[in-house]
């Protein structure tokens, strides 16, 4: 049909649709969710794509059940995903914690809208940064990724599945409403050309298998259902056998393994973009749609002779602190641009100290514009 | 892992422009934007298309924006539009700072009674009346596409027609192509 389009493989694709296509390309074969604006197109597209690849789509009774279903599917050996927005993400937190402690690979898409509560369904926000980090209770680590374009939604959705599989962890993709609903011209890669990672399956003798015993990489191998291994899975703190324990020495050991699990892998997990940071006196730190505004603002500021730069974390949790310290070396001022009242800026302050850091914030349901950032750069000069 | 930053881009060249299609919900503005996006990307351009609408299927302010250029724009949302369509008075702002200097603003004579004023050119055309003349007021959005392409020289007519055929329901193809042609005529008659 579309000759010009198929030749270059270019198509105009919406962020939410790109997410669904990438999920299937990454091997996702199970989706459970409860549709909610502005994420509903992810569910809609999954319901169309999964049947084509013998996958399963379930519209669940609510978000809590959806989260439970994708954990169950993943424990059953299938890559799984759910998508939601703020109110639904709140509901998923308890089961998300189960995914963390039971080390169940899965991907949660949160297309952020104005909050708290039902807030503004169709308006953009980036208010779930801290919830994604700390929404479920107890000390824990989690991987959170925030893409800034439709093509990056595709890339990072694939990457989210790969990280979830490689490190046996839930991975959250934080998309803002603007990027979720934005249509951009993208070149969708041939799924066969993608690097797709599958989890490490147990291959020891069945009587030697200990479900939560990890080697140097700190990631235990999973038992594939049907391979004859006996596995017990629980949300209670468990030892390497998978059964609950409250023995202080054991609890300390297994908890620390879980908390430090990502440490040897930060080179793979950390992901960021830098623009003109080397000599930057004003460094903008931003992510998602706000980083697109920052990109424009940095170039405009440079044209005006101001040494501005951009540090854009793509993986926002764990936060790429080492890279930020390096990027901020010459900066006299750090501006954190985000559509909330100041969330990632808390982390930037933790890393760089409070003296240099201030925020460029909007909480009125409108995206931050390049002009907003230019104004903020000008105010401190 | 560090990813390469996008290359620096020059300031807006004539090859980069912004379009805003505005009116009320149900007027087909999202479809018009989709057709535009299709045509521009078929010509090898990069398109970023965003929209804003209220949670009703008809009525309420509806808006679709396109940022068109040669590669991924730094900022994908419209900030100063070069071409604007207004199909309903609802979409007229007293002081609209989003309309760029020298922009072309096409408005409907029947549905926009109080046009916006500013440092831009307003062209009032009987878009909805022409659609009614074709037997279906709902193709005013496609008449408008014809007028915008004709007056703004936005893209090749052939590519536009192909995009229309690909985006509208089959049984309405002829009507929509006719509407597009009538829109072109509105502006060619005006200039002769």
Residues in B touching A10 (Cβ below 8 Å): 41
| pLDDT at B7 (0 to 100) | 41
Q: Distance (Å, rounded) from C-alpha B88 to C-alpha B106?
A: 11
Q: Distance (Å, rounded) from C-alpha A161 to C-alpha A169?
A: 10
Q: Is the pLDDT of residue B150 over 90?
A: yes
CB atoms within 10 A of CB B95: 8
Nearest CA to A368 among A313, A314, A288, A298?
Answer: A288
The 10s digit of each residue's pLDDT in A172-192 is: 999 999 999 999 999 999 999
- Report yes or no on B153 lying in a domain: yes
Q: What percent of chain A has pLDDT over 70?
A: 98
Q: Is the pLDDT of residue A16 over 80?
A: yes
**Chosen from A2, A162, A183 to mutate, greatest number of chain B CBs within 10 A:** A183
Q: How many angstroms separate the CA of residue A178 from the nearest CA in chain B?
A: 8
Quick one: average pLDDT of A317-332?
98
Q: What percent of chain B has pLDDT over 90?
A: 82
The 10s digit of each residue's pLDDT in A123-182 is: 999 999 999 999 999 999 999 999 999 999 999 999 999 999 999 999 999 999 999 999
Neighbour-count burial of B30, counting CB atoms closer than 10 A to its CB (0-12 exposed, 13-18 middle, 19+ buried): middle
Confidence band for B190, pLDDT divided at 50, 70 and 90 = low
- Report yes or no on B1 lying in a domain: no
| pLDDT at A1 (0 to 100) | 34
Handedness of CA A157, A160, A165, A168 (dihedral sign): negative
| pLDDT at B56 (0 to 100) | 64
Residues in B touching A303 (Cβ below 8 Å): 11
| pLDDT at A6 (0 to 100) | 40
B1 with A267: Cβ contact below 8 A: yes
B13 touches chain A (CB under 8 A): no
| pLDDT at B57 (0 to 100) | 65
Report yes or no: A284 and A297 within 8 Å, Cβ to Cβ: yes
What is the architecture of the domain spanning A3-193? Answer: 3-Layer(aba) Sandwich (3.40)
Question: If you count them, how many residues does chain B have?
Answer: 192
Handedness of CA A265, A268, A272, A276 (dihedral sign): positive
So where are chain A's domains?
3-193, 272-380
Read off the CATH number of the domain in which B96 is found.
Answer: 3.40.920.10
Domains A3-193 and A272-380 share a fold: yes
Quick one: average pLDDT of A186-207?
96
R_g over Cα of chain B: 16
Q: What percent of chain B has pLDDT over 70?
A: 89
A6 touches chain B (CB under 8 A): no
Number of domains in chain B: 1
- Report yes or no on B7 lying in a domain: no
Quick one: average pLDDT of A83-111?
98
Using CA coordinates, name the residue in chain B closest to A295. B74
Q: Is the pLDDT of residue B8 over 50?
A: no
The 10s digit of each residue's pLDDT in A233-261 is: 999 999 999 999 999 999 999 999 999 99
- Report yes or no on B46 lying in a domain: yes
Cα dihedral A345→A347→A349→A352 (10° resolution): -120
Query: What ipTM, to 2 d.p.?
Result: 0.92
| pLDDT at B191 (0 to 100) | 56
Range of B151's domain?
17-191
The 10s digit of each residue's pLDDT in B97-132 is: 999 999 999 999 999 999 999 999 999 999 999 999
Q: How many angstroms separate the CA of residue B165 from the nearest CA in chain A?
A: 10
Rounded mean pLDDT of chain A?
96
Q: Distance (Å, rounded) from C-alpha A214 to C-alpha B144?
A: 64
Report yes or no: B3 and A273 within 8 Å, Cβ to Cβ: yes
| CA distances (Å), origin A181, targets A25, A245, B64, B104, B137 | 20, 46, 12, 27, 28
Quick one: average pLDDT of A226-231?
95
Q: What percent of chain A has pLDDT over 90?
A: 96
| pLDDT at A332 (0 to 100) | 97
- Report yes or no on B6 lying in a domain: no
| pLDDT at A381 (0 to 100) | 58
Rounded mean pLDDT of chain B?
90
- Report yes or no on B3 lying in a domain: no
Check if CATH label 2.40.100.10 holds for domain A272-380: no
- Report yes or no on B9 lying in a domain: no
Confidence band for B9, pLDDT divided at 50, 70 and 90 = very low
Q: Distance (Å, rounded) from C-alpha A170 to C-alpha A16?
A: 19
A369 with B166: Cβ contact below 8 A: no
């Amino acid at each position: 049909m579309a000759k010009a389009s198929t030749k270059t493989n270019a198509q105009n694709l919406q962020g939410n649709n790109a997410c669904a296509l990438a999920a299937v390309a990454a091997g996702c074969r199970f989706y459970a969710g409860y549709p909610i604006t502005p994420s509903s197109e992810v569910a809609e597209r999954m319901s169309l794509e999964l049947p084509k690849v013998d996958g399963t789509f379930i519209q669940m009774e609510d978000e809590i059940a959806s989260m439970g279903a994708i954990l169950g599917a993943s424990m059953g050996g299938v890559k799984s995903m759910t998508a939601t927005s703020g109110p639904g993400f709140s509901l998923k937190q308890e089961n998300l914690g189960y995914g963390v402690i039971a080390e169940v690979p899965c991907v949660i898409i949160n297309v952020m809208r104005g909050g708290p509560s039902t807030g503004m369904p169709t308006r953009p926000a980036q208010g779930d940064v801290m919830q994604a980090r700390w929404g479920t209770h107890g000390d824990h680590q989690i991987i959170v990724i925030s893409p800034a374009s439709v093509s990056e939604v595709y890339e990072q959705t694939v990457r989210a599945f790969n990280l979830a599989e490689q490190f046996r962890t839930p991975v959250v993709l934080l998309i803002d409403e603007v990027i979720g609903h934005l249509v951009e011209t993208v070149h969708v890669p041939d799924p066969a050309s993608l690097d797709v990672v599958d989890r490490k399956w147990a291959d020891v003798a069945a009587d030697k298998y200990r479900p939560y015993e990890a080697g140097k990489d700190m990631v235990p191998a999973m038992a594939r259902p049907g391979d004859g291994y006996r596995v017990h899975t629980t949300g209670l703190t468990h030892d390497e056998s998978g059964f609950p324990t409250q023995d202080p020495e054991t609890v300390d050991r297994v908890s620390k393994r879980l908390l430090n699990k990502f440490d040897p892998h930060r080179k793979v997990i950390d992901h960021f973009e830098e623009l003109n940071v080397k000599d930057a006196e004003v460094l903008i730190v931003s992510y998602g749609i706000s980083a697109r505004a920052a990109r424009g603002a940095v170039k405009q500021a440079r044209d005006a002779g101001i040494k501005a730069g951009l540090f854009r974390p793509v993986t926002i949790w764990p936060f790429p602190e080492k890279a930020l310290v390096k990027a901020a070396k010459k900066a006299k001022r750090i501006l954190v641009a985000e559509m909330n009242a100041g969330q990632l800026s808390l982390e930037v302050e933790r890393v760089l100290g409070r003296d240099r850091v201030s925020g460029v914030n909007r909480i009125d349901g409108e995206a931050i514009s390049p002009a907003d950032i230019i104004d903020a750069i000008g105010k401190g000069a | 892992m560090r990813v390469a930053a996008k290359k620096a881009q020059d300031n807006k060249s004539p090859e980069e422009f912004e379009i805003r299609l505005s009116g009320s919900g149900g007027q087909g503005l999202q479809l018009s934007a989709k057709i535009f996006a299709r045509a521009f990307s078929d010509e090898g351009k990069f398109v970023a298309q965003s929209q804003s609408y209220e949670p009703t299927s008809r009525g309420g302010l509806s808006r679709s924006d396109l940022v068109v250029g040669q590669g991924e724009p730094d900022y994908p949302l419209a900030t100063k539009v070069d071409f604007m369509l207004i199909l309903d008075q609802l979409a007229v702002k007293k002081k609209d700072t989003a309309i760029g200097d020298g922009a072309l603003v096409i408005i409907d004579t029947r549905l926009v009674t109080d046009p916006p004023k500013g440092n831009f050119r307003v062209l009032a055309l009987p878009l909805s009346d022409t659609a009614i003349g074709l037997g279906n007021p709902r193709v005013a959005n496609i008449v408008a596409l014809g007028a915008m392409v004709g007056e703004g020289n936005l893209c090749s007519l052939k590519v536009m027609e192909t995009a229309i055929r690909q985006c509208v329901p089959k049984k309405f193809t002829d009507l929509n192509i006719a509407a597009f042609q009538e829109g072109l005529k509105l502006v060619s008659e005006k200039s002769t």
